[in-house]
Structure 1
């Protein structure tokens, strides 16, 4: 029964993209036979989910557009608490859960009535989460709109300001939202340029769902995180930081999260690397670690550390 319930939740999640699913593709996704798939669809109908079916060789399934969905079985306080908690996780309050939280938040927001959305927005406006790391502040509506476009395989328009260049409207087929470092990125196929591109979400405004569906393309290498890392590595940053720290790689990684790469070395040493534009972040990490270290590069980091130490010493005196 547990396997059946989990499979039906997965089926419902796929159908809620509102795209048309060929029966064979849907059965392959769920790793079941066409007969089992038909039974699961019948169970969803019994629960009140309106699923259309087309028979024949090209037959398939689709959730009725605009149909009333069964209510989310939560009271108002529970629904608001879940949405606010997911927003905090999406902002990085819980390391490792950012992307999962955005996907879940996109589903929850779709089911909430307007009166609860207003309560959540009001609560968010007067609270300040203490997220370690100080990444750019993001609009949760922007994140969830992009997440829904990725999940629903729906083309997206938005206004974007690149690092260098003019602000302009972009038209893309969104592939995946990726949380990397202290920032969110959208990996997408740029329809105007005919190539894969990455967009920093904090530089993106006015995302607009177009209603136009698309067939997903294959991303080179298939792993969005690895693809994004390789693209970012090719972009020159202001500082290439390398520091030897007398601590285990595990302890350093627990402090810095995925905002740096840490290499374990002999004799209890580790090497921490960052490619960044602001030296304030490695200074803060080294202060939190409170372990002996040696700066390998850049020279500017040594100067920044000396200046910070002088300020702290004067304050302590």
Structure 2
């Protein structure tokens, strides 16, 4: 690996920021220079006012003085671009309320960049367009932030939760994880009212309060696995259909959430659970290939209802 002199010094600073302590031997190996040259780089940082402390002798090491506040961050081109695009993509996660904060953070990021790198990032940003998906549900950033603090401190939350039928109930929940999947944010944890693990959509949470009450969360809890096995809305119909096209051609048509998709007999087998068969029937009609319904029989009734609606529409005077 080739380093110019200034990049070597910045690399030393980056390693010292990332680690509590770094040995001289490791710095020498990472930079592919002699231990004496490493000492010169350390002296250069010290000359710049950065308090690097060293331990002499065999196994000597370096560290930044505890409590030292580092100068403004320095980014590579790829790091700066990833941050800029990440800030723009917050809307894709339903966090529209963070737009002003994201714009302010983006402006601060640009001010920290050298002129040439700032122009490059701005040009790349202009070349990229991100469309808001209609399936992404807007979420209150303050609710998300409060839940994340509750997870970190293992504190119980008190919420009003609105069901899919519109009824609101007061709940106390030990939140283990917060997750984003299929366009929605979820809090997953122990519901004290129901006395079982439950998942709660953040867009249905109201009047959230973080309590002083604490709990011991389970180790290595997998929220994604739980929500896949226990979706928020209880499914009523087991669906199995075969489509006359390979799985890769269905990309973009079908949500993979709570859905099993497998290649079968030159086509694709879809198994899933849904409450609204009419919606799923309409989806199947939108897929550009032939299909066969194996179950449930009620799905055929959904197609009949859609057909009647289409017939009425086409024969309206």
Smaller-chain TM-score range?
0.5 to 0.7
SS in 2 for 1:143: helix
Alignment pair present for 1:89 and 2:92: yes
Encode CA deviations 1:142-186: one digit per residue, 9 max, x unaligned: 334323433454442211234689633323332212334454321
Distance, in Å, in 1 between the alignment partners of 2:286 and 2:16 is 44
Count residues in correspondence: 236
Cα distance between partner residues in 1 of 2:15 and 2:193: 40
Equivalent residues of 1:135, 1:183 under 8 A apart: yes
- Among 290, 295, 298, the residue aligned to 1:297: 295
Deviation at 1:4, TM superposition (A): 7.8
Aligned in 2, Cα 1:4/1:83: closer, same or farther, shift over 3 Å? Answer: same
Distance change >3 Å, CA 236–CA 154, structure 1 → 2: closer
Counterpart among 70, 93, 100 of residue 47 in structure 1: 70
C-alpha separation in 1, matches of 2:176 and 2:62: 31
Secondary structure in 1 matching 2:219 = coil
Q: Is the 8 A contact 1:172 1:191 kept in 2?
A: yes
Map of 1:187 onto structure 2: 188
Query: Do the aligned partners of 2:146 and 2:210 also contact (CA within 8 Å) in 1?
Result: yes
CA distance in 1, matches of 2:303, 2:63: 61
Q: Give how far 1:272 is off.
A: 1.5
8 Å Cα contact 2:278-2:303 kept in structure 1: no
Deviations 1:12-52 (A, max 9, x none): xxxxxxxxxxxxxxxxxxxxxxx9xx97774773327xxxx
CA distance in 2, matches of 1:83, 1:211: 34
The whole-number CA distance in structure 2 between the counterparts of 1:307 and 1:144 is: 44
User: Is 1:199 aligned to residue 195 of structure 2?
Assistant: no
State the match for 1:131 in structure 2. 133
Corresponding residue for 1:224?
223
Q: Distance in 2 between matches of 1:283 and 1:170?
A: 36
Q: Say whether the 8 Å CA contact 1:174–1:187 is kept in structure 2.
A: yes
TM-score, length of structure 1 as denominator length: 0.55
In 1, the alpha carbon distance for the partners of 2:230 and 2:12 equals 39
Go from structure 1 to structure 2 and tell me whether the alpha carbon gap of 1:193 and 1:283 turns closer, same or farther (over 3 Å shift). Answer: closer
* Alpha-carbon spacing, 1:271–1:199, altered in 2? closer, same or farther (3 Å): same
- The gaps in structure 1 that reach 5 residues or longer are 12-34, 49-69, 92-100, 113-128
Alignment of 1:222-301 (within 5 A): 222-232=221-231, 236-301=234-299
TM (normalized to structure 2)? 0.55
Q: Distance in 2 between matches of 1:41 and 1:157?
A: 42
Compute the RMSD of aligned alpha carbons.
4.9
For structure 2, the residue ranges without an aligned partner over 5 or more in a row are 1-9, 21-54, 56-60, 76-80, 106-130
Determine which structure has more spread, i.e. the larger CA radius of gyration. 2
The 1:191–1:314 alpha-carbon spacing in structure 2 relative to 1, beyond 3 Å, is: closer
State how far apart, in whole Å, the 2-side matches of 1:223 and 1:250 are. Answer: 28
What is the distance in 1 between the residues matched to 2:242 and 2:296?
Answer: 12
Query: Secondary structure of the residue that 2:170 maps to in structure 1?
Result: strand
Deviation, 1:238, is 2.6
CA distance 1:214–1:238, shift in 2 (3 Å): closer
Distance 1:280 1:44 in 2: 61
Conserved? CA contact 2:16–2:64, under 8 Å: no
